[in-house]
Amino acid sequence: MAARIFPVVKLATKVGIAGGAVYVAYDSGLLSGSADGAEALSKAKAVIPPAVEEWSKYFGLELPAAPKIEFSPGDAWNSGVRKSIHALSVAPTVLCEYSSQGMQYVKELFK
Residues contacting residue 28 through CB under 8 Å, at least 6 positions apart? 40, 43
Write the single-letter amino acid at 18: A
Cβ atoms of residues 58 and 48 within 8 Å:
no
* DSSP line for 15-57: HHHHHHHHHHHHHHTTTS-HHHHHHHHHHHHHHHHHHHHHHHH
Dump pLDDT digits (tens) for 7-41.
899 999 999 999 999 998 888 777 777 777 778 87
Which has the minimum average pLDDT: 32-46, 81-95, 97-111?
32-46
Higher pLDDT: 63 or 14? It is 14
Residues contacting residue 99 through CB under 8 Å, at least 6 positions apart? none
